[in-house]
Structure 1
Amino acid sequence: MVGALVVAFFLFTSLYTDYLWFSQLGYTSVLTTQWAAIAVMFVIGFVGMALPVWLTINLAYRLRPVYAKLNSQLDRYQELVEPLRRLAMWAIPAVLGLFAGLSASSRWEATLLWLNRTVTGSTDPQFGLDLSFYLFELPFYRGVVSFASAVILIALLLTVAVSYLYGSIRVNGRELRISKSSRIQIAVLAGLYLLLQAVSIWLDQYTTLTQTGDLITGASYTDVNATIWARQILAGIALLIALLFFVTAFIGRWRFPLVGTALLLVASVVLGSLYPWVVQRFTVDPNARVLEAPYIQRNIDLTRDAFDVAEVEEVPYSATTEASPGALRSDAETTASIRIIDPALVSPAVAQLERFKTYYGFNSELDVDRYDIDGESQDTVIAVRELRQSGLGDGSSWYNNTVVYTHGYGVVAAYGNQRSADGQPVFFESGIPTSGELGEYQPRIYFGEQSPAYSIVGAPEGADPRELDYPSGEDGESETYNTFSGDAGPKLDTVFNRLVYALKFQSEQIFLSDAVNSESQILYDRNPVDRIQKVAPYLTLDSDPYPSVVDGKVVWIVDGYTTSDAYPYSRTVSLSNSIADSDSEAQRYAIDDINYIRNSVKATVDAYDGTVTLYAWDDEDPVLQTWQKIFPSTLKPISEMSGDLMSHVRYPTDLFKVQRSILGQYHVTDAGRFYSRTDAWQTPADPQEDASTNSLQPPYYLTLQMPGQETPSFSLYSTFIPRGASSEDASNVLKGYLAVDADAGGEDGVKGEGYGALRLLTMPDESTVPGPGQMQNDFNSDQAVSSLINILRQGQTDVLNGNLLTLPVGGGLLYVQPVYVQSTGETSYPVLQKVLVGFGDEIAFEDTLDQALDSLFGGDSGASAGDGDVPVEGGEGEGEETPTEPTEPADPGDGSETPPTGADGELAAALAEAQAAMEAKQAALEDGDFAAFGEADARLSAAVERALELLGG
């Protein structure tokens, strides 16, 4: 009894703290709706199983023949069972009912979707049913039939067991005798079971529209002309046999239903398997291209609808590979916005420059956003300075971890297209306290991706603040403290609340500590994704939440998706595999195999007080409309979204990844070409990753102007190469370039007019534009580039290639890659020193993007990339940048190159000396002359140091 009370109290604690959390956040209705649905479904499942089982057991026992003569073996069984009979008659139904209740309660979502289903207005091409039947009704009906079948089958088996134990069923040699009462009970249950199987087989014909075959997802020629009508016939046979069982209950003749059951089994093999195989083998396979064409077309059309790519604008693009002077003149705005700061590589630099204390930290990969600075939109690399208690070291204790170190502080933002003279990011928002171009905003970060499991904040008015704000202060103070003044977590204002949270977090200090007072709040579940998932359990959330400074506060913006695996004729894909690339690991999702997705919700989480706001972004999505009926008043219309927030909303990464995986094959809209699969594409492997990992290149956010656009816009893009091509193949040429307008605009409650517009550039079959892998190989194998990089690697430095960007400019495809240099010291970080650019077969490797473009396009590119070195006050790069004259291209006719002069000449001399020293080292090593080896090594070190000085490293 004591143990049961303890378990009950812990269960109550969990439920009570959940209620407090949802209540504080303003989403109590979400929790109570789930509780009510789970409770009702549990009761239905429990009663639905326990009552029929109890009735069948009691009927079988009460209607037993009282004076039946049993054999000695059954007598012994009865003697063993009799002492436990009464308990068993209640316990067996109760235990089975418990399991059934738990099973049924897990299907509360399917039940609520069926009860609140929304008509889509579109019908499937085979049965002409509204698509809502497949999305909301069919899963529910199949679940009900499956549950009822399990109940009847268990009841039937228990009836047979009890009837045999108590003599209603007797076996004498080859003779089987069944009492009338038992016959009626068994026959009725068998008839009900066959009736349910008839319904199940009938529903199975609709599942052919979502089954994935060797060629397509959906009903193929064989399914339509053999499988579907075969299932209809089998359903009719099962119904007829069910009726025969009902007749047997009254007339007592078992022959007809038993023979019918045998015939059903034979028919299921012949009609369900053999006949479709014959049709496929002898009718379809010889003429598959023609016979399957209508069904392939269904698959193409509905797949493109389900993944929202039906309106993609396909643009033939005959990309040139010749870099001609002035070719970039019309693309000056695009080239000026090219992001040369790699958010994946720059994080260590930001950490070294902006962390200040070991208990602050930044994500390993920063986020890309855009901000209006001095009236111009700037692609931005941004990060939140979060608290990381692992850096406290000896200062770690319950009091410090829970009461003092409670939050991070401020954001750091850098221009995406600029660097300082010494290769560092150029920040326009930085420091503690924060300062810069973003104006006044609430800088304290209580809710983030790295926040502690829980913190206790708040204090009575007038009490000394004890939450560390930042490690500097006024009037000689070394630290500044703060008291949280928002409403962010459940109150610990009663002894009972302290007790339940002490139990929840297994910490007696919550109950005993004097730091907990009547104004204290406990903050937990602080990760933005976790908070949104709890208040919107029906959403699949994007794996890349990002911070933005919006309306005077820092908010996390997270994209939410509604998904389904029941959209007819749509290709099924693995969501986790589709989004996995070199930047993202495969995630685990409740529904991973999907064939329908919509970005239906934009959600925000206030980084200061944890407020969760959900906006209905796609109010035409029938799945979202249905969930809005289930959880009314939890979503706001986009008309309530401020213009400032709208200007930072972007097209989501995960949705784009899923769409590009679909368009790799479904860019082909002709059934014949689709069948031949001669034009299938794939996303290229990330050229920065080890080839053995086969990690895909992630999509990148850039401001660019696609053909057909009047002005550049903030976009998300990815590329395609032929399916099966590897980075080493000559066939690794660019076949497609997919970009989407990712800028939602900046007006209150109004989406940008072009937002979400997908554009696909398709290269001609004879295209020779190199793919990313081939271009990376060209960069690596270029003699001038590789000699410099290899020599740099001989010193105390590493050379790191940044993200390889691809832009449709100059009538072709331009590749841009920043190159970072990093010392091998423990406290070093990458600095941007060079920029690689490639256009067709031509390559340039210069200090800045401006210089590289001028070099590549003959000194008359007509574009200003805007990435010149920016002076850093008080640093090594302070002072004005020395203009660099464009280098005249070598005369292609004489095979000679113009000797470098000035700084370039000094660098060339240093590299030549380094090369000579390396050769001398190797020769000395082979001769065993260690004195000469040491001398050559010293020469090499000096030459490398000289080269680094000339590079500014």
Structure 2
Amino acid sequence: MRAGRWLVYLFLGLLLVLYILLGGAAHFYTDWLWFKSLGFQAVFWKTLLTKAGVRAVAGLAVFLFLFLNLWVTRRHFSRPLKVVAGEEQTLQLNPWFDVLSRRLLTLLFLFGSAAVAMIFSSLAGAKWLSWEQFLHPVGFGVQDPFFGKDLGFYLFSLPFYVFLYRFAFGVVLFTTLTVLLIYLLADPLKGYGWWRSPWVVRHLAFLGAVLFVLKAWGYYLHQFLIYYSERGAVFGPGYTDIHASLLAIRVLCFVALVMALVSLYGGIRGSFSYPAGAVAVLVAASFCLGVLYPAVVQKLVVEPNELERERPYIEKAIAFTRMAYGLDAIERRSFPAGKLLRPEDVAANRDAFANIRLWDWQPLKQTYSQLQEMRLYYQFHDIDIDRYRVNGEYRQVMVAARELNQEQLPQQAKTWVNRHLKYTHGYGIAMSPVNEVTPEGLPEFFFKDIPPQTTTDLKITRPEIYFGEVEAPYIIVGTRTGEFDYPRGDANVYTRYRGEGGVRLGGLGRRLMFALSFQDYRLLLSRDVTRDSRVLYYRDIGRRVRKIAPFLRYDHDPYVVLAGGRLFYLWDAYTTSHWFPYAEPHGEFNYIRNAVKVVVDAYTGEVRFYISDPGDPVVKSFARIFPSLFAPLEEMPRELKDHLRYPEDLFLVQAEMYAVYHMQDPQVFYNKEDKWVLPTELFGAEEVRMEPYYVITRLPGAKKPEFMLIMPFTPQNKKNMIAWLAARCDGENYGHLLVYEFPKQELVYGPMQVEARINQDAQISQQLTLWDQRGSRVIRGNLLIIPVKDALIYVEPLYLQAEQSRMPELRRVIVVHGDRIVMESTLAAALERLFAAGSPRSPAGTMEAAGRSVAELVGEANALYRRAEEALRTGDWAGYGKNLSALKEILTELEKRTRAADKVYK
């Protein structure tokens, strides 16, 4: 009875093992089909075979080395042990002899070595990319300052050498400790010490010598690692590292080699004291030369005159850090302080003012969700900022893809057929200009509703979204079940997938593989699925793209693009490394380039990788490893290329590094005299760090407006603005970085200073308090600092959100320029009030009437009259009186001019 039960357990266990093995094989097969469907089967096989090859070589080497050393210890178990009792000595068989035969011991050593080899081989397999980069290095054409090696050595060769050293040292050290433990266990009687056995001493001395040789190699490699030292005034080697640590490393390398010879000599003599003494000597030398000596040099030589000692090393650190982050390509320009715009400047820069962003993505996402999601199962994952040529005009827009989120389906609708056959895709986009608002405070739409409706010359011919940012399960298209396309009234419209994306399901064998891979038996039972049906899986672009190229770092924000009537996702990818010499790290890396642009077709799932920085050696190395993966940027369709934008993540990294590394004078850098920081602003009611923002404006001296990314800077511990950084995004200027610096002796308001001025404005603060007391919540949007001509204008939107609503409405726009602050219901009204009702040159809000044209005076009079009426409606008697006084002044001037004209006429 008991035997039968064990047979059942054995049978079930075998079935479980078989299921696991079949599941693994099925997953491998479906992954290969997926790569093949995208045209990347060469990438699949290259990655797989490289990992397998590295694991096989590393595992075999570890197995042979460990097993041979264990096999040598086998004779120690069968030899007699000498037992000392008083003055008598007797021989006694090792007690292990009766337990472990030589054959059993050999089997134990075989299995143990194999298990350890598998563990080490998995560690080696994870470094397959280092091996490939080692085989495919690319030179930078720049040499390091101390060893004269091309920088490519540090990014492609040194990482592999360091890994190989650590791997080999770990294997030998593990083997040595294992052998030592075996010798201890093999002599439980302790009557004859293992350290007195010449055979044991020779074995351990040989392993010790190997460790010493590896340690010498480690010291040799360590001299190159001084480029990542954090000891001195800057990241990288300083005076102490070059004049003390480097010398110590080279001496220790020689000492380690000598100690290897000492260890071998001790093995020949059969004396354990020699290898033990060698270890003690190396430890003492490491402490004295590697720790004490550099500390003394740092304390007595460097610190009393640190700046002069460190000056040449600070210069090198600045130069290499700027090179690593592309800061050396930033062009510096001066920007005047205190310049103010006149009404004619506004007219001349109408295109810039027409694209000032009033909608922030956080409140707009809520508004989009309320107005345009249409059904529970639709979702706007993100709001993206881009630019389009709309009806002949260059417009900045907010755009979002309407994706399908099956998790939002009603519970009763989450059937297998609905999740995998029927609800397969999202539909269309919502798009609105950044600055247009309806009278109700809602966005004006360029694209809205389902099917997409537009009043522009932009068209969508393929609105279906099968691949997007929302996590989605696998689906099967081309089945006997119609796919839900979009809702229409009380009914639904159905469609069939017409693309070539995904993998053809095929016959029973392939269908079984998919069922095992997806762990879904219903794939085998569904009658709606045919041989010609296609399986679409890995549909969220994050997982999809990373599965193809996991060695790239990706921007946090892929963005949807409408091009040629189709929807695509553009995603910026970076090549990074933490091995760039002399460069200060930023988090996990100290080198970064936006070397790749990824395009994903939202309908077919086709993925393309385009090299956007062909001068980057790291992407060149990847292109040599995977020659079929990348294409030159010139092959990207023109309509997609027009929507390339400088990525936010890279720009933010560069801005943070440039805030420190714009200081190129060693003394200024050492004292951090001119350190900048990224500013803060008020968003809602909280002070948050300002984010980079996209704008369309015209740079000083430029002939036409362009799309760019901007970030202001403020000095350390101060709130005024000191400079602003711009990344150009259009055409041949793409990627050109400019920093505009203000005169240090003049005040330019920073974001928080402008926020404080807004808070101190009596009329604005009174209005905000009033709104907050009427069941609404005021949301202060992002403060945008817009450069126009040679002046700055500050714009901040205000949103109102009712307590019972999740739909923020844009109700006011605050504009600050010079000494004036105005708040109006629209940007146009604010600009009219700002530039027609008074010059920014006058703190009182009016300017001298003389010297202006009659038309200007009439326009100002009308604006003052409207402001007086508004003050009267709100009960602002002080404002009402002030505006009437200003209006009287203008009317007086008009009367004088009329009388003068009459005299001339007469």
**Same fold (TM > 0.5):** yes
2:734 maps to which of 752, 755, 761: 755
1:701 to 694, 698, 706: 694
What letter matches 1:272 in structure 2?
Answer: G
1:734 aligns with 2:727: no
- Counterpart of 2:807? 829
Work out the CA distance in 2 between the residues paired with 1:898 and 1:433. 46
Instruction: Tell me by how many angstroms 1:28 deviates.
Output: 1.3
Corresponding residue SS for 1:58: helix
Q: Does 1:905 align with 2:872?
A: yes
Structure 2: which amino acid aligns with 1:444? Answer: E
Alignment partner of 1:457 is 2:469: no
Normalising by structure 2, we get a TM-score of 0.88
User: For residue 132 of structure 1, what is the aligned residue in structure 2?
Assistant: 152
Residue of structure 2 in register with 1:800 after alignment: 779
* Structure 2 Cα separation of the partners of residues 499 and 300 of structure 1: 60
Pairwise CA distance, 1:568: 0.2
- Between stretches 651-660 and 525-534, larger displacement belongs to 525-534
**335-344 vs 75-84, which deviates more?**
75-84
Please list, as runs of the form range in 1=range in 2, the aligned pairs for 1:446-525 lying within 5 A after superposition: 446-459=466-479, 466-472=482-488, 478-525=491-538
Contact 2:798 2:812 in 1 (8 A): yes
Q: d(CA) in 2 for partners of 1:908 and 1:885? A: 26
Displacement of 1:323: 6.4
CA distance in 2, matches of 1:766, 1:706: 23
How much does 1:810 deviate?
A: 5.6
Match of 2:25 among 6, 9, 12: 12
Deviations 1:19-51 (A, max 9, x none): 121121221111211111111111122112111
- CA offsets per residue over residues 652-684 of structure 1, 9 Å max, x none? 111111111111111111111000012111112
Q: Is the 8 A contact 1:561 1:598 kept in 2?
A: yes
CA distance 1:205–1:170, change in 2 (3 Å)? farther
2:375 maps to 357
Equivalence for 1:869: none
Structure 1 Cα separation of the partners of residues 195 and 223 of structure 2: 38
Task: State the partner residue of 1:196.
Answer: 214
Aligned partner of 1:777 among 751, 756, 759? 756
1:815 is matched with which residue? 794
Equivalent AA in structure 2 for residue 656 of structure 1: F
Paired position in structure 1 for 2:406: 389
- What displacement does 1:193 show? 0.8
| 1:613 corresponds to 2:613 | no
Q: Match of 1:370?
A: 387
Q: Which residue of 1 aligns with 2:847?
A: none
**CA distance 1:254–1:813, shift in 2 (3 Å):** same
Distance 2:667 2:756 in 1: 36
State whether residues 423 and 832 of structure 1, in contact with CA within 8 Å, keep that contact through their aligned partners in structure 2. Answer: yes
Tell me the amino acid that sits aligned with residue 668 of structure 1: M
Quote the offset at 1:215 in angstroms: 2.8
Q: 1:262 to 1:837 in 2, by over 3 A?
A: same
Q: Unmatched 5+ residue regions in structure 1?
A: 575-592, 726-730, 746-751, 863-883, 891-896, 914-953
How far does residue 420 in structure 1 lie from its aligned partner after superposition? 2.3
CA distance in 2, matches of 1:478, 1:861: 59
C-alpha distance in structure 2 between counterparts of 1:522 and 1:899, whole Å: 64
Q: Does 1:103 align with 2:132?
A: no
* Counterpart in the other structure of 1:854: 832
Q: How does 1:351-750 map to 2 (within 5 A)?
A: 351-363=369-381, 365-393=382-410, 394-436=412-454, 437-459=457-479, 466-472=482-488, 478-574=491-587, 593-688=588-683, 691=686, 695-723=688-716, 725=717, 731-743=718-730, 745=731
For the 8 Å contact 1:705–1:711, the answer to whether it is kept is yes
2:164 paired with 1:177: no
Counterpart of 1:91 in structure 2 is 111
- Could you tell me how far apart the structure 2 residues matched to 1:812 and 1:171 are? 92
Secondary structure at 1:651's aligned position in 2? coil
How many angstroms apart in 1 are the aligned matches of 2:858 and 2:518?
A: 65
CA contact (8 A) 1:741 1:756 kept: yes
Q: Is the 8 A contact 2:265 2:274 kept in 1?
A: no
- What one-letter code is carried by the residue in structure 1 that aligns with 2:208? A
SS at match of 2:683: coil
Greater Cα offset, 310-319 or 629-638: 310-319
Which structure 2 segments of 5+ residues have no match? 1-13, 85-90, 841-856, 881-906
Change over 3 Å in CA distance of 1:246–1:427 after alignment to 2: same
Q: Distance in 2 between matches of 1:662 and 1:134?
A: 22
| 8 Å CA contact retained: 1:817, 1:836 | yes
Contact 1:803 1:817 in 2 (8 A): yes
CA distance in 2, matches of 1:377, 1:90: 72
Corresponding residue number in structure 2 for 1:119: 139
Residues 302/568 of structure 1: CA separation in 2 closer, same or farther (3 Å cut): same
Inter-partner Cα distance in structure 1 for 2:532 and 2:874: 66
Q: Give yes or no for the alignment of 1:768 onto 2:747.
A: yes
Percent of paired sites with the same residue: 33
Alpha-carbon distance in 1 for matches of 2:192, 2:675: 69
Which one-letter code corresponds to 2:493 in the other structure? T
Alignment-mate amino acid for residue 704 of structure 2: T
Amino acid corresponding to residue 8 of structure 1 in structure 2: L
Other structure's SS at 2:82 match: coil
| Conservation of the 8 A alpha-carbon contact between 1:321 and 1:841 | no
User: Aligned in 2, Cα 1:12/1:742: closer, same or farther, shift over 3 Å?
Assistant: same
Higher share of residues assigned helix: 2
Query: Does the 8 A contact of 1:722 with 1:732 survive in 2?
Result: yes
* Cα pair distance change 1:552/1:810, threshold 3 Å: closer
Candidates 202, 218, 225, aligned match of 2:236: 218
Question: What one-letter code is carried by the residue in structure 2 that aligns with 1:297?
Answer: E
Equivalent-residue separation in structure 1 for 2:612 and 2:35 (angstroms): 23
State whether residues 469 and 479 of structure 1, in contact with CA within 8 Å, keep that contact through their aligned partners in structure 2. yes
Q: 3-state SS of the aligned residue for 1:149?
A: helix
TM-aligned CA deviation for residue 861 of structure 1? 7.9
1:213, 1:420 → 2: CA distance? 60
Q: d(CA) in 2 for partners of 1:164 and 1:119?
A: 51
Question: What is the CA RMSD across the aligned residues, in angstroms?
Answer: 2.8
Residues 89 and 513 (structure 1 numbering): CA distance in 2 closer, same or farther, change over 3 Å? same
Post-superposition offset of 1:415: 1.4
CA contact (8 A) 1:686 1:698 kept: no
Q: Which amino acid aligns with 1:191?
A: A
Calculate the TM-score normalised by the size of structure 1: 0.84
Secondary structure of the residue aligned to 2:543 is: helix
Structure 2 residue identity aligned to 1:805: L
Larger RCO (CA within 8 A; separation ≥ 6): 1
Range with bigger deviation, 64-73 or 650-659? 64-73
Q: Distance in 2 between matches of 1:482 and 1:663?
A: 53
AA partner of residue 664 (structure 1):
A
Cα deviation code 1:842-864 (max 9, x no counterpart): 211112222212323354789xx
In the alignment, is the contact (CA less than 8 A) between 1:293 and 1:671 conserved in 2?
yes
| Contact kept? 1:326, 1:861, Cα under 8 Å | no
**SS of match in other structure, 1:719:** strand
Q: Check the 8 A contact 1:448/1:527 in 2, yes or no.
A: yes
Change (3 A) 1:887 1:830: farther
The number of equivalent residue pairs is 842
CA displacement at 1:98 relative to structure 2: 1.3
